[in-house]
Amino acid sequence: MTDEELLGIIGHEIGHVANKDTRDAVRSAYKREALTDAASSQSGVVNSLSESQLGAFAGALLDSKYNRKQESEADAFAYDFMKSHNYKVTALASAFNKFADMDSSSGVKKSKSEKMLSSHPDSAERAAKVLEKAKKDGLSK
């Protein structure tokens, strides 16, 4: 990656810090665990469900929606960071496209459920969103 592409990725990670994503994730995990423990102690059915694969799937689904939102917000932070410091915002899109290329060249095909449960949005889609925003802002052709 180029220096500007790395700067975009670093801006994304700074976005997670600025948005307090780690703090929120820990709070959410504690709340979910407390609710599951309380419900499980009152019902054998809830306990069986929470320990089952379906319960794990439901938990992962809840987590993935939250994490995708955080990822999108961190992407927006990185874009705004780069724009405000006069860096090429298209370098962020280029970095995401490189991630997409790495995914496709790995030869590992993800199932629909794996894609749905991924904490990160599709890299190519993220790149397209950055480029679309850059065009709207007059920063790209």
Domain chopping of the chain, boundaries: 3-136
Task: Tell me the two tokens of residue 38.
Answer: 């309380």
Is residue 13 part of the annotated active site? The answer reads yes
Per-residue pLDDT tens over the stretch 2-33: 999 999 999 998 998 899 887 776 677 667 66
- Which residues, at least 6 apart from 98, have a Cβ–Cβ distance to it below 8 Å? 1, 5
Per-residue pLDDT tens over the stretch 38-70: 666 666 655 565 565 555 555 654 554 457 888
Q: Is 33 helix (H, G, I), strand (E, B) or coil?
A: helix
Measured in whole angstroms, the distance separating CA 9 from the mean position of its chain's CA atoms is 13
The rounded distance, in Å, linking the Cα atoms of 106 and 57 is 25
Short-list 64, 73, 122, CA closest to 97: 122
Q: Are 9 and 95 in contact (CB under 8 A)?
A: yes
Per-residue pLDDT tens over the stretch 120-138: 788 999 999 999 999 999 9
pLDDT at 24: 73
Long-range contacts at 120-125 (CB < 8 A, ≥ 24 apart): 120/67, 120/68, 120/71, 121/68, 121/71, 121/72, 123/96, 123/97, 123/99, 124/96, 124/97, 124/100
Tell me the residue ranges of DSSP E strands in the chain: none
Of these residues, 13, 33, 114, 125, which one is catalytic?
Answer: 13
